[in-house]
Amino acid sequence: MHATRHLIIFLIVICFIAACGPVPRPKGAYTSGADILGDVRTRRDKVTSFRITGRVDHFGEDHRVQGKVYLFAELPQRLRIELVSPFGNALTVLTVDKGRFALNDLREGRFLTGPAEPCNIARLVRIPLPPDDVMRVLIGHTPIIEGDPAVRWDTKGVYRVDIVSGDQTQRLEIGPDKGVLPLLASSLSDRDGTVFTIGSAKWRVIDGVGFPHEIRVKMPRHEADLLLRYDEGGVELNVPLPDDAWQQTPPPGIEPEQVHCDDRV
């Protein structure tokens, strides 16, 4: 009885050590930061369009965004986001088409138009990034600063890529599977602290492309904390989308409002 108990304890300890011990460097591991980022960008560029269903939660105190979401894009210039109520009714529709933005807020009875600048995109998604960066975040990528990237293998089982440019420092964590190269985390900071953190999880291979099903973006200076969870089977890549998906017209009786980045979000 005691021997059996000791054996069980020993096996538990061995399993614990195996789970928590250092992960050896993979064969043929990356030694060049430029090479690994080049392959990550190659994975990103395999996605030219998408149609996605999922759920969105924004955890800010002043701006609550929550519900079913439909995402459509032709990268890098066209984007459509529809926020839908639990009853299936559209609440807000945002479109971007080649530098122009429109937002139909059916709850407030407002129709906004203007340049597709970060502040205007943030009126719905709450993360003030250029629309092409937003689209890339939605597919598991990240804005990357200019600079000479240095890569090292972390024995926790990920590559760490560090980039320094002026007062900015960026760190990326990338999984070792060369067929997927999942970008698990990206953080950017400067002399004033954190600019953003982006995490992605629940990666799947869809049509030969690695793709996350959970994305979280935090931008503390803007009180932005956005969580996206994509439905299982809710991601379609490189699909044809109709040309009229990217334009909106004001509903009858609603005057369009021109908004710019010197306006409050």
Which residue segment(s) compose the domain that 108 sits in? 27-256
In which band, very low, low, confident or very high, does the pLDDT at 152 lie, cut at 50, 70 and 90?
very high
pLDDT digits 0-9 by tens, 84-121: 988 888 999 999 998 999 999 999 999 999 999 999 99
- The whole-angstrom separation of Cα 180 and Cα 201 is 12
Contact between 253 and 237 under an 8 Å Cβ cutoff? The reply is no
pLDDT of residue 87: 83
pLDDT of residue 78: 97
Query: What percentage of the chain reaches a pLDDT higher than 70?
Result: 89
**Residue, of 156 and 17, whose pLDDT is higher:** 156
User: Does 22 map to a domain?
Assistant: no
pLDDT of residue 260: 86
User: Does 73 map to a domain?
Assistant: yes
- The whole-angstrom separation of Cα 50 and Cα 134 is 13
CATH of the domain at 64: 2.50.20.10
Instruction: Report the chain's C-alpha Rg in angstroms.
Output: 21
User: Does 35 map to a domain?
Assistant: yes
pLDDT digits 0-9 by tens, 63-77: 667 899 999 999 999
pLDDT of residue 63: 63
* pLDDT, average across residues 198-214: 96
- DSSP states along 46-86: T--EEEEEEEEEEE-SS-EEEEEEEEEEETTTEEEEEEE-T
User: Does 115 map to a domain?
Assistant: yes
pLDDT digits 0-9 by tens, 166-196: 999 999 999 999 989 999 999 999 999 999 9
62 has pLDDT over 80: no
Number of structural domains in the chain: 1
User: Does 21 map to a domain?
Assistant: no
User: Does 261 map to a domain?
Assistant: no
- The whole-angstrom separation of Cα 93 and Cα 80 is 7
Q: Report pTM.
A: 0.87
- The whole-angstrom separation of Cα 227 and Cα 80 is 18
User: Does 141 map to a domain?
Assistant: yes
